[in-house]
Structure 1
Amino acid sequence: MGVFAAVTATFFDTASRSAINPFNFFGFFTMQSNILLAALLLITAAQELTRRSRRPSWIVPARAAATTYMLIVGIVYNTLLDGLAGGVDLGWANAVLHIVFPLYALADWILFNDRYQLPMQLVWLMLIYPLTWCAVVLIRGATDGWVPYPFLDPATGYVSVTTYVVAIATTIAVFGMFVIWISRFHRPLRRPQRTTRDGTSDRGHL
């Protein structure tokens, strides 16, 4: 709930000082990644509380991807963006979104045994969302001039932007493999099962 409180407080704080464009506000990778992982953790917690025996087949891979994105948020902010103008002006909300929750995401994935072992091929699926996000940002930067982060501004030159995009994709792939590798050190849970049309049970696949 701390993440949703930080996002909400930041939204109203920004709106109190100037007109706010929701597409711009929620266009930041930080906002999207925080909301995504927080929502997935709430879904997982609700399933535990209701003692559901069958989980959706997508929940563990989705959590792995969201955890990877949150690690990237923490690394990129603390190495490239900390101290730059713009971003989250509320100190406590900034800390929650860029430091506390990324660390919590890592600790949650390492410490809790509530997932099955994931295939390394999942890394390629993890890249789809951030690369799509980068494409949208570049299109917007070239058309209406809005960019969430200075290193993705087309005005700096497409060679520079392309270098950063490749670096981001490579970093996501590396940390995605790390997240998948961690999943293999836990006692594997059974994959979620689904019932086929003939009434037999089949294990879910990615």
Structure 2
Amino acid sequence: MERKYFGMWNDIFLVVLSIIFFLLFFLCIKSKHRKPLFILIVLLISCYGFFANIYPVENLFYSFPTAERAADYICSGELLGIVEGTDSALLVYTDPPNTIHTVILPRSEGGYHLGSNSTRKEFAENRDTKYFAQLLGCPGREDRYWYISGPLEGSSVTIADSSGSAFVTSLRDIGYSSIEEKELFHFISFALLNPTNDDTFHVTITDTGETTDLTFEDVSPG
């Protein structure tokens, strides 16, 4: 029931906004001063889109008691997993058709707030010829999270880092290759980085016996 409840409030919020903008547009049509009102409407919509991207308006009047309830509110696709830290949580989910989202939810004494572009920062990134890996965090917060993805030669993968972080891995079947005559898989893996005083981090990815080492240098909370 919780997923339906919070999804309902999300739908109501969007409906109310749509009604407000529709009424403004209707007033614009009926008014003798159409051009100034039209410009005002465009400015209002642009301002709302800009500030909602930085700071979701829901955060002004509500906080979620758990990260799961925040996920129920914002996830419209498949929830791949939630990793909780000390002052935030990482939420990974998909939206149709198959877009992957990584959102960091800041936590305060009142609960979790919705994440936005301002609460998600890339502190380190390592791209090689096969995998994509990031170390994510929220500015001003202690928690750091791994996000790693890439293709698989088989149907399983093992991931470990130098601080002993516990990775959550999701395998996705992306179809059958008639050329290679086998199923093709893609993995998404994420974890809370265990606290460490090291400045260099290593991630090891093992796929069908082949090992790839990724190195991240000078990762800092600044």
> What is the TM-score of this pair, normalised by structure 2?
0.24
The structure with the greater share of residues assigned to strand is: 2
Larger helix fraction of residues: 1
Q: Which has the larger radius of gyration?
A: 2
